[in-house]
Each structure stands twice: as C-alpha cells, then as structure tokens.
C-alpha cells in the first residue's frame, strides 16, 4: 500500500509541475519591454482549467504526503 502511495505521489508531482509550468501570467521578458498591461483579468477556458487542476493536484499531493507520513510514523 505504501509503495502505491509513493508511486501516486510521484505521478501527481509530475502532473502538478507540468500544470504549473504551463500557466502563463505575462511575467516573462515581454513585461520588461512594456508588454504587460498590469491589469486584472478573469481566467477563462484552458487557463481556468489549468488553475483549478493545479489546485486539485496540490491538495492531493498534500493529502498523500500526510498519509504517507502517518503510515510511516505508525510503523504500519
């Protein structure tokens, strides 16, 4: 069971990293040369999906990490 949780944690961490890296907030080199308008905008479409995917994957990662910690500390 513990090995399955560790494999799940690795898979979730890979997908979490990918979802975070795919998010674009306009803070690249374009903002250095005046490309960023600096205003507030609403997330729509794929950007909104990536945001919520990152939130869910982050919560799952924390939950699995806590579960693994509990199991290893109990010696189960």
Domain of 67? 1-22+43-76
Number of H helices, E strands in the chain: 2, 0
Give the pair of three-digit tokens for residue 21.
């890296």
Domain count, the chain: 1
Q: Is residue 30 part of a domain?
A: no
pTM for the full model? 0.73
Q: Is residue 29 part of a domain?
A: no
Q: What is the four-CA torsion angle of 56, 62, 66, 67, rounded to 10 degrees?
A: 40
The pLDDT assigned to 76 comes to: 65
Give the pair of three-digit tokens for residue 42.
């609403």
Residue 27 scores a pLDDT above 80: no
The pLDDT assigned to 21 comes to: 92
- pLDDT tens digit sequence for 37-61: 556 667 778 888 999 999 999 999 9
């Amino acid at each position: 069971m513990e090995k399955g949780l560790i494999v799940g944690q690795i898979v979730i961490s890979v997908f979490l990293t990918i979802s975070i890296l795919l998010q674009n907030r306009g803070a690249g080199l374009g903002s250095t040369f005046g490309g960023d308008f600096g205003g507030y905008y609403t997330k729509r479409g794929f950007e909104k999906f990536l945001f919520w995917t990152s939130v869910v994957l982050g919560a799952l990662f924390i939950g699995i990490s806590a579960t693994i910690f509990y199991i290893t500390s109990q010696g189960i």
